[in-house]
Amino acid sequence: MWFPGKRPHTASRKQKFFSHQINVGSEPLRKKHQNPFDAVVPHPAEAPHYHGQLNQALEYFHKRLGHSDDFFVRPFKIMGRSSALLFLSTITDNQQLEVLLRSILQHRFPSKRPRNLLHYLTDSVISNSTILYKDNLFELSEDINNGSAVLLIDGEKSALVITVKFIEHRTPDQPYIESTVRGAQVSFVENIDINIGAIRVWMATESLTIKKFKVGYRSRREVAVLYLYDVANPVVVDTILKRIESIHVDVVTQSAEIEQRISDHSWSLLPMTRVTQRIDSTIKELNQGKVLIIVDGDPNALLVPATFQDFFQTEEDYGHIFYEAMFIRYLRVISFFFALFLPALYISFVDFNPELLPKVLGIAIAKSREGVPFPATIEVMMMQVVIEILREATLRMPKQMGQTIGIVGGLVLGEAAVQAELVSNILIIVVALCAMSVFVTPSYEFSVVLRLGSWIMIIAATLFGLYGVVLAAMWGIIELGGMKSFGVSYVDPFGGEHIMDVFIDSFIIRLPVHLMRQRTSHLHPQDGTGAVDVKELPNLHPQVEKSNRQFNDWKRRRRQP
């Protein structure tokens, strides 16, 4: 039978195994400005429920989903009772649907009707691993939009939600924004379930807690919050959950939109969350008491709360000995100052305070600028714009061409600018060193901060010289001191209250791994014990000790004349 008042729709070749499919989407033209989707998510108590009236339920689903040509209703009978299977053909697995229908239609039901037909179906007929009982019609329509099939039986007070979603995803690959030499070479993908499963595999503990939300009136994007319930600060977790629940927008497409809507300082230049694609870094931060936010369709995950020092550390640091790790972190700090202050200091010393330079260096700069018709400010701004253009061109170009364009463009333009006496050769060194120092930081978001912060310093140096650079730096330090990320001071552990964390794990000091026995306290973890290591190495096996003694005796006998 066809749905009342609707014309049959010809099924595509891909869907021909359903011989009795019904398409209820070929509806006559609607009113011009009528919205078929009610953008207000109803409260569970106010949403309509399924009470066994199949025709009324089909009418409801037709109003919500019937305008789409990929919405199908497959009618059939179960033990003489009218039933219907509802699904969207474009996001469901046809093979799973075929198996589901065959298992129902070819099953030999008992002559006596079971007391609970739904329980009989789930226990003896349907073999899918994920089956839910629901009666909220709005939630059922959301499940259909997410790729599930809904089974309705006339007279039953609940419906069955059967997962038959077709999952198309790419294979986990190397992280493209956090490259590493040593460590895991696997990153998150666009599928939220695969990302959560990867974290489950890497952290097989019962304390790992997952909370899921639907964000966006129209997109209904799935957002997951992960944390260790016995480690993470419950106040921080509760704050994050409430802020995500309070997001009321039409569409959410990526984690950056969630980040900007839940951050404490939405107008700040500095990132309030740490973006990562690496699973090993995520496991490390979760164990320290941080909270992870994953958005379906985005391979970038958010770690909160974030502090200033987080953007100078990577998981790869713990794969090196602490001498090498400290050296790399010091190198990042030096590169931070080069990227932020070097062009501004060049302007200050050349245009405003050349007497502060050593005599030999001042003469060298003056010789290199002979014939240059522009002041140092115009020189720096021109070259900074050129560098930004090359950087964007390299980023947008195909991978096979991007690196070549960046190298050749930089060499050709730099050499041509010096020969044409538009800029000095010393400025080329300054700008090149600044451009390379920007990307020494392991966080792409923080590299953007350095790029924009460098322009702020250039403008300050242009207006007030060295005095302006000092004022801008002081203003930045004051802003840092007053910022908080989900209740945690942005400058911790250097704020004073948790100063001992500096000697545990910071961008200044990183202890050897066997001495890092506590979690840093500035995140206020419930469990402050990090890794309890044995004080002494275990004794050798007696057979090994015996072999060592025999070897030493043999060497001693060889030395005797």
Mean pLDDT of 92-110: 90
This prediction has a pTM of 0.78
Enter the DSSP assignment of 147. T
Residue 484's H or E segment, with its range, is strand 484-485
CA-closest candidate to residue 145, choices 51, 197, 214: 214
DSSP string, 219-287: T-EEEEEEEETTTS-HHHHHHHHHHHHT---S---SHHHHHHHH-S-TT-SS-SSEEE-BHHHHHHHHH
Domain-wise residue ranges, the chain: 54-163, 192-306, 321-478
What would the pLDDT profile of 241-292 be if each residue is shown by its tens digit? 999 998 888 888 888 899 989 988 888 888 989 999 888 889 988 988 899 9
State the average pLDDT for the chain.
81
Mean pLDDT of 508-531: 75
User: What are the tokens at 185?
Assistant: 């070479």
The pLDDT value given to residue 32: 37
Mean pLDDT of 176-198: 83
The pLDDT value given to residue 38: 44
302 three-class SS = strand
Alpha carbon distance 373, 421 (integer Å): 8
User: What are the tokens at 449?
Assistant: 């901060």
What would the pLDDT profile of 370-385 be if each residue is shown by its tens digit? 888 888 899 899 888 9
Residue 176 in this model has a pLDDT that exceeds 80: no
Say if CB 148 and CB 165 are below 8 A apart.
yes
User: What are the tokens at 11?
Assistant: 């099924």
Residue 472 in this model has a pLDDT that exceeds 90: yes
- Specify the higher pLDDT residue, 226 or 554: 226
The pLDDT value given to residue 460: 94
Query: Poorest-confidence range of 3-7, 166-170, 200-204, 220-224?
Result: 3-7
The pLDDT value given to residue 541: 58
DSSP string, 310-374: GGG--GGGGGS-HHHHHHHHHHHHHHHHHHHHHHHHHHIIIII-GGGS-HHHHHHHHHHTTT--S
Mean pLDDT of 56-64: 91
Mean pLDDT of 356-364: 88
Residue 488 in this model has a pLDDT that exceeds 80: yes
